[in-house]
Structure 1
Amino acid sequence: MDTATLDYLRTIAKRLNDAAHGEKTPIVEQSASFLNCSTKQIYQLLRDADLMPPRKTRTDKGDSIITRAQAELIGGMILVATRANGKQILAVTDAAEMLKAQGKIPDVAVSTILRALKAYHCHPSQLATPTAHVTQRSLHPNHVWQIDASVCVLFYLPKGGLAVMEQKEFYKNKPANVKKIEKERVIRYVVTDHYSAATYVEYVMGAESSENLTQVFLNSIQRRAANDPMHGVPSILVMDKGSANLSGLFLNLLDRLGIEHIEHAAGNSRAKGQVEKHNDIVECKFESRLSFLNVGTLAELNAYCQRWRSHFNANAIHSRTRKTRNAVWLTITNEQLRLAPSLEVCRELVTTKPKTMQVRGDLSVTHTIKGYPNQAYDLTHLPDIYPKAVVDIVVNPYRAPDIDVAWLDNIYTISPIETDEAGFAIHSPVIGVQMITKPESSADSNRKAMLKAAYGVDTEADVDKARKKKQAAYVGAIDAMADVDNSHNEGNVPSIITKAAITVDTSAHVASREIKPLTHVEAAMQLRGLISDLWHAEHFSDLQAQYPQGVPHSAITEIADRIIVGKPINYLKAVNE
């Protein structure tokens, strides 16, 4: 292309770029006439010279006839119809046809709908992307462990030992075959240390039960062979919400061992992704070998697994640490390693709950721990402890036979009382040599203060003196008869006239005997008790006049009745006159 033509094309390109809508065609036609060529050739010449003006952006770029609400409706229909395994069973075409028939979306091509779905991030492929997750970390070996169970590729044949489950015989479309071996399945439990990724694997028979889970977990925390260093009690255990994991017995064991248990939400297996991945590792790297081995019993299977596991932990390089699992786990410090109690004590912890006991008079309690004799524990140093106080006690799994005592919202670890050959506590005072008293409890202090206040004295000795003298307490401060006097003053004690009655004649059955009459003072006291305020001083004079030798017992009731009705006393004849 010569320079003159190129300069002319530059002029044409500038005019086209500046032209308004509808003005470009005349410019191109004029140029084609000038150069004696077609309009198509003009465009080609501009492209060859790299002078073709860019296409102007459409004013409706980014707009769609499909609205966001319509796109969300289509995406929602497909999302709801998607199975739990992720299979999409409703196509965009079918969903669009349903909505077009109801007039809920415009009648446009499926490609237009798909572009709109992607623009609004409602496309099935976009909706299927997983939710973003956060990667968590642990602080040191045995800080966090994870545990999970899965079905092994083996199952038990009653007459033939263990056998591999063939995919063509045991899969979801043949539930009868799966049901047939349900109780004979081999379950794989995998335990991982989150910090080092060290792994413990054990196989059990049957199903995921609390018994199997407890057995595997207790075995995993015990110290084993020298080439299998991972052991100890973790601070936190992460697991799923399976019924076995949440059983009361297993959770009780974790509580007794001081392990915090975290159950992740259903469907969020990523929360314990490490142990999930190690289940896959065990299946691929160990169970893949079982097709070439004759495994007859569960013990043989676990023996093979132990050999493989020790090799794997010692040699496999972890991608995160760039070291072997054993090498990282061995960085644990003495403070971070909590040694597990013996298996016997651990098994007892499964069913052990705090026991409520009453403190004895010498501020001690007794408790029996499996494997140890009944022993006494001194609680003297507990704050504000007192006889008959109620405390909760449980064995300390890391210091048996020490116990943990719950008192006033605190936990105290108590060791057994040391005794001599005769069974006496070594710290007890010797008779005739020394005198030791227990610390004064709050109850003791309150009791002494109350007694001093009751008798108005300052010392305990003065309290003893006052009590020996039978001195009344709270003199001048408390009226012990206040309620009684108020009752009388308020008329709550009405006078009652004794009903007429028949006197029992005992002369025929009982030998006659003389009874000493009452003195005038004794009779007056009895009458005062019967008639209260109706008794007056002149009644005493009448008694003396009527009964100069004393008042007969049988006359008291009649005298009281006469006074109540206002009759005189002296109608009666004197006794022995």
Structure 2
Amino acid sequence: LHDAPAVSLASNHPNHVWQVDASISTQFYLADDGAKVMDKAVFYDGKPANLKKIERQRLWRYVITDHTSGTLYLEYVLGAESAENLSNVLINAMQKRHEADPFHGVPWMLMTDPGAAMTSSIFRNLCRAMSINLIINQVGNARAKGQVEQAHNIVEREFESALKFKAAQTLEQINEWAGQWMRFFNATSIHSRTQRTRYGVWQLIQADQLRLAPSVAVCRELAVSTPEERKVSNLLQVSFRGAQFDVSTVPGVMVGEKLLITRNCWRDQDSAIAVLVGEDGREQYHVIEKIGIDQYGFAETAAHIGEQYKSHAQTPAQVSRKVLEQIATGTTNQADAESARKSKKVPFGGLIDPHKHVTDTLLPAYMPRRGTSLNVNAPTVELAPLSHVEAAKLLRARLDNLWTPETFSWLQQQYPQGVPQDQLEAIEAELKRPAEVIRKPFSLVLAAVGGE
């Protein structure tokens, strides 16, 4: 049953890390005639109907703390823990409120628990647009934001306890009293870690650490501006809100991929924000600049012909392509790889057999299947006879010097109606027969003609 050991956390400067948490008041609710104490005899689990009656009147307490200085911000809302209430409280905390309250600005990081309001799209959109790195602790690990948890105890003991002696009539009055107490506490209470007041430590913030928030109206508009998906063109640009933005500075960007783009509250028209997801699963924000257009409609970032030469840094796809080229050609640099490719060398030195999966596969010997013969009446093909001239052309090529004018006359006499195509070989053999007689011995020839 012992707790697991914890690790202490440190922040770099005021406004570097804020922690936010909501908690329902276990003592009070706001009735029609003012704040009332929740009597344990009336409001408990055994009487859920009584709790249901005052559901919309229960006080929710939002506390925000600055991790470095310990400064706390306190605000009450009615109803329930919702994305709208959380966003409004954060927006109010970032504004400059009172001359006696120096605490304001946009935090660089915000730690919270994984509640439905904390992970809602409205609250996430607000954090994206304000470039706030949202850190959500794991379920059951409330001590990761122990500072704000302890702040709830301080508020209950030192502020809410006073409401028993003087009941507030409206929510505005409760928040007015809460603001007075908050400024008093931050200005006078000595923090145990810093041994100084909370406002005193927060005042050490530097100019580059203090990011001023836009107006409440602009912040509320940003809370509902969901990032839009945009496709990267071959110029490493995206279209957003009627203009072109340069995304060449976004780490790992590639032509054809899609990026989430949202508004940038700091320079609403001149820049936007590309939303990426890091290896740790957290969102990362990269500012991208709007591309201006000259009087002729050319981009101001374009290279002027004959005067400039520009090229983008290599994208991951280009780098990977070169590495693969060197692996395939067995080289160690791009010049050798291009030379090997031009000489049409076989990839991988011919070590890869593309048919190996075919030749190495042992196929089964299939048993022959018994079948039935098909009786087919083969069609009779009749070929038209060749003319004497057509047949002479074919036979002359075959007989060479044996062909004579008498041969043509013989062909006409033997086949007066034309020469059948299937008789060409027989005719050729017949016409070659005298040549065989001439090649016989001379004595046999004499005997054949009667010895003369």
TM-score scaled to structure 1, two decimals?
A: 0.47
Residues 155-304 of structure 1: pairs in structure 2 closer than 5 A: 155-157=29-31, 160=32, 162-167=34-39, 170-172=42-44, 174-247=47-120, 249-250=122-123, 253-254=126-127, 257-263=132-138, 265=140, 271-272=146-147, 273-280=149-156, 281-285=158-162, 287-288=163-164, 290-291=166-167, 293=168, 295-296=169-170, 298-304=171-177
Residue by residue over 1:87-106, the C-alpha shift from the partner in whole angstroms, topping out at 9 and shown as x without a partner, is xxxxxxxxxxxxxxxxxxxx
**Quick one: which amino acid aligns to residue 282 of structure 1?**
F
Deviation of 1:327 (Å): 1.4
Q: Which residue of 2 aligns with 1:378?
A: 246
- Structure 1 residues 180 and 205: alpha-carbon distance in aligned structure 2, compared to 1, 3 A threshold: same
Residue by residue over 1:213-245, the C-alpha shift from the partner in whole angstroms, topping out at 9 and shown as x without a partner, is 222123222333332221233355444454434
Q: Secondary structure at the match of 1:259?
A: strand
Please tell me whether residue 388 in structure 1 is matched to residue 252 in structure 2. Answer: no
User: 2:19 touches 2:145 (CA, 8 Å); kept in 1?
Assistant: no
**Quick one: which amino acid aligns to residue 298 of structure 2?**
F
Deviation of 1:423 (Å): 4.7
Provide the rounded CA distance (Å) in 1 between the counterparts of 2:175 and 2:117: 22
Residue by residue over 1:239-279, the C-alpha shift from the partner in whole angstroms, topping out at 9 and shown as x without a partner, is 44544345465456556521323356268699344222233
Deviation of 1:330 (Å): 1.1
Of the candidates 294, 297, 301, which is equivalent to residue 427 of structure 1?
301
Provide the rounded CA distance (Å) in 2 between the counterparts of 1:355 and 1:277: 41
**Quick one: which amino acid aligns to residue 428 of structure 1?**
A
Deviation of 1:416 (Å): 1.0
Please tell me whether residue 570 in structure 1 is matched to residue 421 in structure 2. Answer: yes
Residue by residue over 1:155-187, the C-alpha shift from the partner in whole angstroms, topping out at 9 and shown as x without a partner, is 344xx4534235266432544322211122222
User: 1:232 touches 1:340 (CA, 8 Å); kept in 2?
Assistant: yes
Q: Which residue of 1 aligns with 2:329?
A: none
User: 1:144 touches 1:237 (CA, 8 Å); kept in 2?
Assistant: yes
Deviation of 1:206 (Å): 0.4
- Structure 1 residues 342 and 424: alpha-carbon distance in aligned structure 2, compared to 1, 3 A threshold: farther
Among all aligned residue pairs of Structure 1 and Structure 2, give the percentage whose two residues are the same amino acid. Answer: 30
- Structure 1 residues 190 and 412: alpha-carbon distance in aligned structure 2, compared to 1, 3 A threshold: closer
Q: Work out which structure has the larger RCO, using CA pairs closer than 8 Å and 6 or more positions apart in sequence.
A: 2
Q: Which residue of 1 aligns with 2:274?
A: 404
Provide the rounded CA distance (Å) in 2 between the counterparts of 1:179 and 1:344: 34
Provide the rounded CA distance (Å) in 2 between the counterparts of 1:241 and 1:406: 20
In the alignment, structure 2 segments of 5+ residues that lack a partner are: 326-333, 356-375, 380-389, 399-418, 424-452
Q: Which residue of 2 aligns with 1:52?
A: none
**Please, what is the CA RMSD of the aligned residues?**
5.0
**Quick one: which amino acid aligns to residue 159 of structure 2?**
V
Q: Secondary structure at the match of 2:133?
A: coil
- Structure 1 residues 543 and 186: alpha-carbon distance in aligned structure 2, compared to 1, 3 A threshold: farther
User: 1:352 touches 1:394 (CA, 8 Å); kept in 2?
Assistant: yes
Q: Secondary structure at the match of 1:164?
A: strand
**Quick one: which amino acid aligns to residue 88 of structure 2?**
Q
Provide the rounded CA distance (Å) in 2 between the counterparts of 1:236 and 1:198: 15
Provide the rounded CA distance (Å) in 2 between the counterparts of 1:542 and 1:161: 127
Provide the rounded CA distance (Å) in 1 between the counterparts of 2:91 and 2:25: 20
Q: Which residue of 2 aligns with 1:330?
A: 203
**Quick one: which amino acid aligns to residue 92 of structure 2?**
N
User: 1:376 touches 1:417 (CA, 8 Å); kept in 2?
Assistant: yes
**Quick one: which amino acid aligns to residue 402 of structure 1?**
A
- Structure 1 residues 541 and 452: alpha-carbon distance in aligned structure 2, compared to 1, 3 A threshold: farther
Residues 32-181 of structure 1: pairs in structure 2 closer than 5 A: 136=8, 138-139=10-11, 140-142=13-15, 143-151=17-25, 153-157=27-31, 160=32, 162-167=34-39, 170-172=42-44, 174-181=47-54
User: 1:405 touches 1:413 (CA, 8 Å); kept in 2?
Assistant: no
- Structure 1 residues 264 and 411: alpha-carbon distance in aligned structure 2, compared to 1, 3 A threshold: closer
Residue by residue over 1:187-230, the C-alpha shift from the partner in whole angstroms, topping out at 9 and shown as x without a partner, is 22122223333221111110122322222123222333332221
Provide the rounded CA distance (Å) in 2 between the counterparts of 1:405 and 1:135: 30
Query: Relative to total residues, which structure has the larger strand share, 1 or 2?
Result: 2
Provide the rounded CA distance (Å) in 2 between the counterparts of 1:245 and 1:408: 20
Q: Secondary structure at the match of 1:187?
A: strand
Residue by residue over 1:498-524, the C-alpha shift from the partner in whole angstroms, topping out at 9 and shown as x without a partner, is 9989xxxxxxxxxxxxxxxxxx9xxxx
**Quick one: which amino acid aligns to residue 147 of structure 1?**
D
Report the structure number with the largest CA radius of gyration.
1
Deviation of 1:361 (Å): 3.4
Provide the rounded CA distance (Å) in 2 between the counterparts of 1:209 and 1:354: 21
User: 1:152 touches 1:188 (CA, 8 Å); kept in 2?
Assistant: no
User: 1:190 touches 1:200 (CA, 8 Å); kept in 2?
Assistant: yes
User: 1:236 touches 1:262 (CA, 8 Å); kept in 2?
Assistant: no
**Quick one: which amino acid aligns to residue 39 of structure 2?**
Q
Provide the rounded CA distance (Å) in 2 between the counterparts of 1:453 and 1:132: 60
Provide the rounded CA distance (Å) in 1 between the counterparts of 2:86 and 2:69: 22
Provide the rounded CA distance (Å) in 2 between the counterparts of 1:175 and 1:453: 81
Residue by residue over 1:312-343, the C-alpha shift from the partner in whole angstroms, topping out at 9 and shown as x without a partner, is 32334445545332112212233443444554
Of the candidates 308, 313, 317, which is equivalent to residue 181 of structure 2?
308
TM-score scaled to structure 2, two decimals?
A: 0.58
Provide the rounded CA distance (Å) in 2 between the counterparts of 1:387 and 1:268: 44
